[in-house]
């Protein structure tokens, strides 16, 4: 009897095994073809803005600022590269001739010039942006500052005919030019940094308010060549600039200079030698005017870590995104508008 039970159990096990093998395997969850395909949607890239213009960056936002001394003698006009500058300071040098400190970061033109000599107060303005300072020549005060160390600079006195080139269509001292390729080369030769963490300016998103003003004139003297005008052009959303009645254009591209912010500020000027060189007080602050979007408002200005910035009733004013020109004048009485 036990033998029969043993055979019956074995038969049951064999039948069970065959049944298990004959049953089809249950399919797992169906895999989604969509999951296997790469997504056509890319994560939104964060828009980077240029620190000195507030506009979408086209180049490296870590490009170090380069400050170039540009000649504004009537025989040096029109200049090359001014249109590309993010910020331009216009300040009296000797007599009634102004000189430009052009600061480049978001846009580097092929060449700039005519390059002119350094003054100590331009060095102060350049240092507010930790700029690589480019000049051709220097005053005694500027020479002492630059040779004292701590400031990265290229001086055409030591690179005339190498990094700096004399153009044939102008006469010295209005003919010294330098390409940005040579500025970068000079920085590399001297071990200067070419990139930097550039602290951004403050920019406004609202509409500027103030008195509607179409034209502003700055008379650095009674001579026509020393008179500057800014005219608001609505279709450009900015200002055209004029010197001695002639529009400021780029020599190489023939395109006009267009700026979105014009800041005119008064600072104490003092003649310090027989050559008419000046000392200018850039530390104490003072009064001025700010032109944006076709309107003008009175402002106070302050020196904040070397940068000259606009304030109203003690509160900072943001710049309109775009280019900025800052005219430093000995007194606001030489400014007229309509």
Domain boundaries, the chain: 66-337
Question: Cα separation of 295 and 232, whole Å?
Answer: 9
Class of domain 66-337: alpha beta
Query: What's residue 50's pLDDT?
Result: 98
Q: Which residues of 204-232 are buried (b: 16+ CB within 10 A; e: fewer)?
A: beeebebeebeebebbbeeeebbbbbbeb
Question: Cα separation of 239 and 223, whole Å?
Answer: 23
Tell me how many helices (H) and strands (E) the chain has: 5, 23
Query: What's residue 56's pLDDT?
Result: 97
Question: Cα separation of 172 and 165, whole Å?
Answer: 11
Question: Cα separation of 114 and 74, whole Å?
Answer: 11
Model confidence at 24: pLDDT above 70: no
Query: 60-69, 269-278, 322-331 — which is least confidently predicted?
Result: 269-278
Q: What are the E-state strand segments in 114-210?
A: 132-135, 153-155, 164-166, 176-179
Q: Specify the 3-state DSSP secondary structure of 84.
A: helix
Once rounded to an integer, what is the mean pLDDT over residues 185-206? 97
More confident residue, 12 or 113: 113
Residue 133's alpha-carbon distances to 19, 68, 268, 301, 321, in angstroms, are 90, 6, 24, 24, 25
Query: Considering the entire predicted model, what is its pTM?
Result: 0.86
The secondary structure of residue 174, as a DSSP letter, is S
Name the band, by pLDDT with cuts 50, 70 and 90, for residue 209.
very high
Name the band, by pLDDT with cuts 50, 70 and 90, for residue 45.
low
Asked if residues 107 and 59 have their Cβ atoms less than 8 Å apart, the reply is: yes
95: Cβ contacts below 8 Å, ≥ 6 apart = 221, 276
């Amino acid at each position: 009897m036990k033998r029969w039970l043993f055979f019956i159990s074995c038969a049951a096990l064999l039948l069970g095994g065959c049944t298990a093998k004959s049953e089809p395997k249950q399919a797992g969850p169906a895999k989604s073809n969509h999951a296997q395909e790469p997504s056509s949607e890319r994560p939104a890239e964060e828009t980077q803005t240029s620190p000195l213009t507030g506009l979408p960056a086209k180049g490296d936002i870590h490009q170090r600022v380069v400050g170039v001394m540009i000649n504004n003698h009537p025989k040096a006009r029109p200049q090359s590269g001014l249109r590309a500058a993010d910020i331009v300071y216009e300040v009296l040098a000797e007599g009634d001739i102004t000189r430009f400190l052009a600061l480049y970061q978001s846009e580097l033109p092929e060449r700039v010039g005519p390059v002119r000599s350094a003054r100590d107060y331009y060095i102060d303005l350049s240092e507010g942006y930790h700029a690589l300072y480019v000049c051709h020549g220097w005053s005694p005060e500027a020479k002492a500052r630059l040779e004292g160390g701590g400031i990265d600079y290229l001086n055409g006195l030591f690179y005339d005919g190498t990094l700096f080139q004399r153009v044939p269509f102008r006469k010295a001292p209005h003919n010294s030019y330098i390409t940005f390729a040579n500025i970068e080369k000079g920085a590399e030769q001297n071990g200067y940094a070419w990139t930097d963490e550039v602290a951004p300016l403050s920019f406004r998103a609202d509409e500027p308010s103030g008195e509607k003003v179409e034209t502003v004139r700055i008379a650095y003297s009674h001579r026509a060549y020393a008179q500057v005008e800014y005219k608001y052009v609505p279709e450009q959303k900015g200002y055209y600039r004029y010197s001695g009645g002639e529009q400021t254009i780029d020599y190489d591209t023939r395109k006009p200079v267009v700026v979105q912010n014009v800041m005119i500020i008064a600072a104490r000027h003092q003649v310090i030698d027989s050559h008419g060189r000046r000392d200018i007080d850039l530390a104490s602050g003072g009064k001025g005017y700010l032109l944006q979007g076709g309107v003008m408002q009175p402002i106070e200005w302050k020196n904040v870590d070397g940068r000259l910035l606009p304030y109203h009733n003690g509160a900072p004013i943001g710049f309109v995104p775009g280019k900025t020109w800052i005219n430093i004048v000995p007194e606001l009485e030489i400014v007229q508008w309509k």
